[in-house]
Structure 1
């Protein structure tokens, strides 16, 4: 396996590469990629939007994460707010940073890249907490998020056009780190 560098990414410049990663990791059709391209570019225009990438030494993007400061008027917030209100967690929508997408190629999963991407990105934000949504099933992604300090704030959240329900998860910043073994380096 090639070496992989994790760091800030100009996602606007490589949006198509990122959508290819997302399609392979999450299973998107060509039409879904086309629609998401416009959404990603619109998100990246939000003040405070940040992105990180995992790039192999051959220059290939193998993972990415991006997010925006939470705004109650954003589409995502308007969908999740009633679910958060039911659980008395709607205050999480204030002064939070929302992780919009996090994807790693299947061939590069379980190597610590997702952890390195999300912690690297959130270490750059000034907000005291972070939110994200994930498919509401027990999965490696949900396990990763829990290990970083995320907890369920709402479950069985229904997004329009999404076939499966989602969970909204939140964590205080900075995210938790795994204890390092003596002499260990990296993620």
Structure 2
């Protein structure tokens, strides 16, 4: 499978937002996630807020080597940003940790927020590629990711 990974800036994300939301819904509609079309549409607003966070980085996986964003089939994406106090996930996780673990794990951390690959393209290494490229060269001491506690197919 011929997959191209591209770093997207906010204007690029807006240009392919419909495809991003489609992949999000396709990846997370099946059980155990069971995300609805409404939840997928709400994800668009969440992504818009996340784009303004420090350290925001977004990678998209496209099918083929055509360098055009619009018109190239988007099959997956991953993004994250610097994890900081006051962010929902940071506050939830740090509340469950001992203070020394918060210092060790959360004080200089990158949060991998979403990783999604369309089901038809899962199992071919696209998720691993997105994960590794997103974290490559980051200036943070730790990188954090939470996953659902269920038996799911690898992306």
Please give the range of the TM-score, normalised by the shorter of the 2 chains: 0.7 to 0.9
Counterpart-to-counterpart distance in 2, 1:101 and 1:140: 16
Higher relative contact order, structure no. (Cα contacts within 8 Å, ≥ 6 residues apart):
2
Aligned length: 140
Q: Which of 23, 33, 40 is 1:33 aligned to? A: 40
TM-score for the superposition, normalised by structure 2:
0.81
Structure 1 or 2: more helix by fraction: 2
CA distance in 2, matches of 1:139, 1:126: 31
Q: Kindly report structure 1 stretches of 4+ aligned residues shifted beyond 3 Å.
A: 138-141
Q: CA deviation at 1:98?
A: 0.2
2:67 is the alignment partner of 1:68: no
Q: Any gaps of 5 or more consecutive residues in structure 2? A: 30-34, 65-70
TM-score of the two chains, using structure 1 as the length reference: 0.68
Q: Does 1:55 align with 2:68?
A: no
Q: CA RMSD in A?
A: 2.0
Structure 1 stretches lacking a partner, 5+ long: 145-187
The match for 1:20 among 19, 22, 28 is: 22
Contact in 2 for aligned 1:72/1:78 (Cα 8 Å): yes
Aligned to 1:183: none
Within the alignment, does 1:100 sit opposite 2:102 as a pair? no
Shift of 1:139: 3.3
